[in-house]
Amino acid sequence: MSHHYSGPDYGFPHGDARLDLTDLYAFPKPGDAGKSILIMNVHPSEGVNPPGPTTDEPFATDAIYELKIDTDGDLVADIAYRVRFSSREGGAQTATLRRVEGIEAAGTGDGGQTIHEGAPVSTGQDAQVTEAGDYRFFAGWRSDSFFFDTMGALNNFQFTGNDFFTEKDVCSIVLEVPNSALVTRKMGLWHRTVDGKSGKWVPTDRGALPSQSVFLTGEEKGVYITAEPKDDARFVGRKLSDDVMDGFISILTNGKVTRDNVGPHNDLLASFPYIGPPHKARSAQLVAA
């Protein structure tokens, strides 16, 4: 899926770019049929409402970033991977990855079995990857693999072929998981951000179907974010280079406009963490939200 700017009026959920989901990918690990790759992208490096760069701090430290997995087809989570971030002296962030199963996986909280603790968050060109048993983990700034003429879309679909995301970055959470930790049959997958700034956990964004929440307006968007996938259509996956926006443009304009003349980026990697290096190296000491 892709749905940048999923807050009100193409803004950010709760006004915080770090809580904004952008992409979700899942695919078998190349060359190793026994493992899978799950990629959760958040935090666009530049917004359109308000316009301009967002904070250099990668992730919100008072939030939970979740990958939820349905193993039995009822569209209720049976497994959840939860990531929380903390800031150390000097501003460098670290991540803790936890796994939870059963009834707790369908709920909201930051508990679970710890897989990684204190994993470094990457702010520069080099990907800092950590390993624990059969798991590999990455979190940090990467090149935004999404491609679309955003300004053309906001200008009554007058596309010029200008890719708004060419030099933009996102924050990626990349997880290599042994298939033994998942399920051998078809499974459902979605991701979610949960904000704890108010003192209680409040769902802020979620997604799985391509661009679904972007096209919901008013109260419908809020209902979608706080609901569960059992009330949605089934998950549809896509490759990082699939041009999903051309399909949506054609649907939205009833075939009058069929493409935005923007194509996929060429900086994807063939190995972990798969998302290309960021266009800008950021200092770990820049922590203002």
- Provide the number of structural domains found in the chain: 1
- Residue 286 counted as domain residue: no
Report CA 64 to chain centroid distance, whole Å. Answer: 12
- Residue 220 counted as domain residue: yes
Type of residue at 158? Q
- Residue 269 counted as domain residue: no
- Residue 284 counted as domain residue: no
- pTM given for the model: 0.77
Average pLDDT score over residue span 97-116: 94
Average pLDDT score over residue span 63-67: 97
Kindly tell me if the per-residue pLDDT of 221 is higher than 90.
no
Which residues are paired to 84 by β-bridges? 96
∠ CA(264), CA(38), CA(132), 5° rounding? 135
Kindly tell me if the per-residue pLDDT of 77 is higher than 90.
yes
Q: Which of 236, 288, 282 is nearest to 142 (CA)?
A: 282
- Residue 261 counted as domain residue: no
Q: Are strands 21-28 and 35-42 parallel, antiparallel or unpaired?
A: antiparallel
Kindly tell me if the per-residue pLDDT of 124 is higher than 80.
yes
- Residue 12 counted as domain residue: yes
- Per-residue model confidence (pLDDT) at position 267: 83
**Parent domain of 52:** 8-252
Most confident of 29-38, 154-163, 237-246: 29-38
- Residue 272 counted as domain residue: no
